[in-house]
Structure 1
């Protein structure tokens, strides 16, 4: 005693009749394009933005500026000269020479013509004063007059020379301080000059970076085009599948329901069916 009870349901989804020609035409056209490799076409257009005329003009100016001031030319030559001179330009070297002379030179009372003139006038004034005093005392031309004049002149000269020596010592000390500071400044100047020589190449670096940027963008665009061409076959397949999936809800479908298949369930089902028949016949055999 066995058996099965199945319920089968079939569903058919048909497109709108007026749409069928459109679907057939669309699928046929898509298939033809796919076979020709034209369903998806790679974009091979150049998308790199070129330099503007103003940009190329500015680049040319920067390049000319850099070339005119590098390699020993223009600013780089002057800066190299400063480095070669210990950090000083020509005018500074002249001033530094004077400072060195003042800092290292020996004391010479006759080295300053202006001082010598003032000193001589003071000595003459002292001599004249001594002469006037001797004349007033009636001793002009005497030994007393001569001694007094010599003493006065000598005192004036000695006082002035001592003052000049002290001034020279002050100038010498100041010059030594200036010389030390000049050495420090020279080191700083050399560093600045070296940095300035590097900065002179900045315009050329700017132009080079701009050219490298353009080349990089061009290369990336070429890579993009190559990738699109390489991916075109796969993209065509995917596009064709996408077109085909648009008709996925059309056509026929079948659904099957499986009922109880064991003997006990069948007997019970038959008894229920027989009971229904008896009731419908009035309950008589």
Structure 2
């Protein structure tokens, strides 16, 4: 008593008749290209931009500049000399020598020729003045005259030497401060000289970085070409699948709808249908 109310619907989608030859030709051509490995071709052309002539010229200039001022040559040699000399060039060393001599020396009134000349002139003037005074008083050559002259010259000498000593102390104090500052400056100079020696290599670093950049771009381009060649079989398959999918909406498709299949459901359905018909007929009577 069982039964089935399955229903099957078949739909056929056909392309425009004039387009069929084109589709067949396209699919055939694509398949032939696929079999011959020509459906997808890798791009093996380099995409790296080379250096311009002006760039290579500038790189050559930078390299020459770097080589001429590194490794103890040119600027680096001068900087190394400053470092070896405690942070001073030759002119600074000469000035420092004078400062150090004043800062660490002992007072010597006879060590300053200029002072000795001024002192001698003052002593001569004092002696002549004493002579004139003694001569005017009629005591020239006397013991009094000699005593007065000696005292005047002695007092003058003592004052001038004392002044010179105080001046020397001032110069020494100043020189000691300058010597201390020079030591500090020398340390700073050595640091600057060391940095300058490193900076002298910057032109070579620039050229090296540019060459490394070009090498890196070439390497990346080679990797790209290698990957395209390695992916070529898969790319051909994917391309062929993509072309074939264009005809996916064409051809014949079948769809099936299935309702209740047990006997009780079928009878109940028939009974409901009959009742509906009777109800409708009774309305007409």
Calculate the TM-score normalised by the size of structure 2: 0.94
Counterpart for residue 260 of structure 1: 260
- RMSD (Å) for aligned C-alpha atoms: 2.1
Secondary structure at 2:103 match in 1: helix
Within 5 Å, which residues of 2 pair with 1:116-155? 116-155=116-155
- State the distance in 2 between where 1:277 and 1:94 align: 133
Unaligned runs of 5+ in 1: 280-285
Counterpart for residue 160 of structure 1: 160
Within 5 Å, which residues of 2 pair with 1:65-214? 65-214=65-214
- State the distance in 1 between where 2:208 and 2:103 align: 50
Q: CA deviation at 1:269?
A: 4.9
Counterpart for residue 282 of structure 2: none
- State the distance in 1 between where 2:251 and 2:124 align: 138
Unaligned runs of 5+ in 2: 280-285
Q: CA deviation at 1:272?
A: 6.6
Secondary structure at 1:110 match in 2: helix
- State the distance in 2 between where 1:207 and 1:215 align: 12
Q: CA deviation at 1:176?
A: 1.1
Secondary structure at 1:51 match in 2: coil
Work out whether 1:236 is the aligned partner of 2:262.
Answer: no
4+ runs of 1 displaced by more than 6 Å?
272-279
For the structure 1 residues 263 and 164, does the alpha-carbon distance in structure 2 shift closer, same or farther, using more than 3 Å as the test?
A: same
Residues 50-82 of structure 1, C-alpha deviations (whole Å, 9 max, x = no match): 111111111000000000001110011111111
After TM superposition, the structure 1 stretch with the greater mean CA deviation from structure 2, 26-35 or 256-265, is 256-265
Q: CA deviation at 1:106?
A: 1.7
Within 5 Å, which residues of 2 pair with 1:8-19? 8-19=8-19
Q: CA deviation at 1:128?
A: 1.3
- State the distance in 1 between where 2:228 and 2:101 align: 79
For the structure 1 residues 161 and 14, does the alpha-carbon distance in structure 2 shift closer, same or farther, using more than 3 Å as the test?
A: same
- State the distance in 1 between where 2:173 and 2:275 align: 139
Counterpart for residue 44 of structure 2: 44
- State the distance in 2 between where 1:50 and 1:167 align: 73
After TM superposition, the structure 1 stretch with the greater mean CA deviation from structure 2, 14-23 or 135-144, is 135-144
For the structure 1 residues 245 and 154, does the alpha-carbon distance in structure 2 shift closer, same or farther, using more than 3 Å as the test?
A: same
- State the distance in 2 between where 1:211 and 1:55 align: 11
Residues 159-211 of structure 1, C-alpha deviations (whole Å, 9 max, x = no match): 10111111111111111111111111111111111111111111001100100
